[in-house]
C-alpha cells in the first residue's frame, strides 16, 4: 500500500468502492497496475467495469502485462470472454460509447467513476457520468469548473455532500503543489516564481510533422525535436493553494523520452532565506506530513533513476542554486524530478481512497447524529409519561470521525 500522510486509516473491509473506469489509455492502464501491485484491488477498490475505446479485453490484458517503460507485470492479467481477469478479479470490458452520458454505470454496479479518457475537460462533460448513474466522478486531469484536489495538499477539502465532481489536477501540479505547500507551511513563503518543465513525450504528439491544435510548433514530430509547449500548470497551483493565485508562471518542453519529467522552480521567498533553511524544511516535511509525497535525493540524478518512483516530487539536492544580490539571498532554485505516470497514478489512488474514507466517516457521523436525535425523542416521550426527574438521558458519545480524518 502506498504511504499516506493523514495518519488515520479506516477499518478494512468497510471502505471498498466500486469504481467504473472510463478510458483505459496510459493513465487508466497504469491505475489498474497500481491497484493490483499495491494490494488495493479487491480490498479498497473494486473495478465494476472498464469502458475502453476499442472494448478489447485481450489488448488491455496485453498492455497490462507488457509495458515498454515498467516492464513485465508480475501479476496475472488475461482475457476471458470479453472480461479482464486481473489478480483474480473478473472485470467486464466494454467499448466506450464516446459520451459519458451514454454509459450505463448502474447496470454494472459502479458507485464512482474515474474518467481517464483525457477528453472530459469540463464540468458539463463529466456530469454525463452522473446522469448515467454514477454517484461521484474523479477526472485524471484538470477540468474547467471542477474543484481540484491534490493529495497531500488539500485532499481534506473534500466535502462529500457537495463535491460530486472532482479533478485530480495534472501530474505537474501534483509535483509542484506539495513543494509550495511545504514552503508556505514552514514559514518561508513565495512572493513570486517561474517554472520550466522538461516533460517526456505523450501520445497526443505527432510521430511525424503534421497539424494539431495548439500552435504550429506543437504539430512538429516528437522524435527529433525538443518542443516548447504552453502550460497553465503553475497557475493551476493557485486553485489548490489560493494564497499563490497569480504568483506562478511557467513554460514546458516536451523531449523525446518515454517517461519522466524534471521541473526547475525559481522563486523569491517572503523574506531573505538561505537555501540551507529551505532544504531543511523540505527534508523535515518529507519525513512527516509529506511522507510518501515529497522526497529528497543526494545522489547525482538522471531521469532513468526515478522511473517508477511513487513520490510526487523528488528534490535534487545537488542541483539547488541561490543568487545573492546586495547581500540579500533573494532568488532560489529547486530542481524537482517526478515520474509523470507512476507518481501521478500513485497519488490518484491515494486521493480516491482518502475521498472514500472521508465519505464513510461522514456517513457514520450522520448515522450517529440520527441515532442521538431518535434517542432524544424517545427520552422526551418517556419523560412525558413517567414524570419529571425520573429519567436521566445520557447520550452515547463518539469521536467526530470527520474531524479526526481532516486533522489527523
Annotated catalytic residues are: 171
Between the CA of residue 279 and those of 161, 179, 284, what are the distances in Å? 39, 11, 8
* CA separation for the pair 212, 74 (Å, rounded): 38
For residue 239, the surrounding DSSP H or E stretch is helix 233-240
Q: What would the grid cell of residue 199 be?
A: 516533460
* CA separation for the pair 314, 60 (Å, rounded): 31
* CA separation for the pair 47, 112 (Å, rounded): 10
Spell out where 219-298 has E strands.
227-230, 248-255, 261-268, 294-297
Task: Name the DSSP class of 261.
Answer: E
For residue 351, the surrounding DSSP H or E stretch is helix 342-386
Give yes or no for a contact between 395 and 374, defined as CB atoms under 8 angstroms apart: no
The total of other beta-carbon atoms located within 10 Å of residue 395's CB is: 12
* CA separation for the pair 399, 364 (Å, rounded): 11
What is the radius of gyration, based on Cα positions, of the chain? 24
* CA separation for the pair 57, 91 (Å, rounded): 9
Sign of CA dihedral 69, 75, 80, 83: negative
As to burial, measured by CB atoms within 10 angstroms (0-12 exposed, 13-18 middle, 19+ buried), residue 399 is exposed
For residue 89, the surrounding DSSP H or E stretch is strand 89-95
Amino acid at each position: 500500500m502506498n504511504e499516506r500522510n493523514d495518519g488515520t486509516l479506516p477499518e478494512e473491509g468497510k471502505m471498498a468502492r466500486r469504481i467504473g473506469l472510463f478510458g483505459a489509455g496510459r493513465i487508466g492502464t497504469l491505475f489498474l497496475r497500481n491497484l493490483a501491485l499495491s494490494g488495493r484491488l479487491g480490498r479498497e477498490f473494486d473495478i465494476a467495469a472498464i469502458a475502453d475505446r476499442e472494448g478489447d479485453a485481450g489488448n488491455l490484458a496485453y498492455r497490462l502485462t507488457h509495458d515498454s517503460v515498467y516492464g513485465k507485470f508480475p501479476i496475472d492479467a488475461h482475457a476471458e470472454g470479453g472480461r479482464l481477469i486481473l489478480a483474480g478479479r473478473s472485470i467486464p470490458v466494454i467499448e466506450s460509447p464516446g459520451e459519458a452520458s451514454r454509459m450505463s454505470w448502474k447496470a454494472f454496479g459502479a458507485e464512482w467513476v474515474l474518467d481517464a479518457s483525457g477528453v472530459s475537460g469540463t464540468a458539463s462533460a463529466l456530469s454525463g457520468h452522473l446522469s448515467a448513474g454514477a454517484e461521484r466522478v474523479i477526472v485524471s486531469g484538470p477540468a474547467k469548473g471542477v474543484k481540484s484536489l491534490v493529495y497531500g495538499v488539500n485532499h481534506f477539502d473534500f466535502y462529500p455532500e457537495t463535491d460530486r465532481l472532482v479533478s485530480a489536477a495534472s501530474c505537474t501540479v501534483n509535483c509542484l503543489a506539495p513543494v509550495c505547500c511545504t514552503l508556505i507551511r514552514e514559514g518561508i513563503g513565495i512572493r513570486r516564481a517561474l517554472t520550466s518543465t522538461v516533460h517526456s513525450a505523450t501520445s497526443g504528439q505527432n510521430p511525424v510533422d503534421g497539424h494539431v491544435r495548439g500552435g504550429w510548433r506543437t504539430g512538429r514530430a516528437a522524435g527529433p525535436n525538443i518542443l516548447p509547449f504552453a502550460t497553465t500548470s503553475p497557475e493551476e497551483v493557485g486553485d489548490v493553494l489560493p494564497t499563490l493565485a497569480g504568483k506562478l508562471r511557467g513554460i514546458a518542453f516536451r523531449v523525446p523520452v518515454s517517461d519522466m519529467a524534471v521541473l526547475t522552480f525559481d522563486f523569491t521567498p517572503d523574506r531573505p532565506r538561505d537555501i540551507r533553511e529551505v532544504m531543511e524544511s523540505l527534508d523535515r516535511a518529507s519525513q512527516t506530513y509529506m511522507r510518501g509525497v515529497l522526497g529528497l535525493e543526494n545522489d547525482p540524478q538522471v531521469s532513468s533513476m526515478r522511473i517508477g518512483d511513487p513520490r510526487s516530487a523528488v528534490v535534487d539536492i545537488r542541483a539547488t542554486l541561490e543568487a545573492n544580490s546586495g547581500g540579500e539571498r533573494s532568488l532560489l532554485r529547486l530542481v524537482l524530478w517526478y515520474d509523470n505516470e507512476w507518481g501521478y497514478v500513485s497519488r490518484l489512488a491515494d486521493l480516491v481512497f482518502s475521498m472514500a474514507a472521508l465519505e464513510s466517516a461522514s456517513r457514520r457521523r450522520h448515522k450517529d447524529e440520527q441515532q442521538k436525535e431518535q434517542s432524544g425523542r424517545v427520552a422526551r416521550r418517556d419523560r412525558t409519561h413517567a414524570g419529571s426527574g425520573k429519567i436521566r438521558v445520557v447520550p452515547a458519545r463518539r469521536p467526530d470521525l470527520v474531524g479526526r480524518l481532516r486533522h489527523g
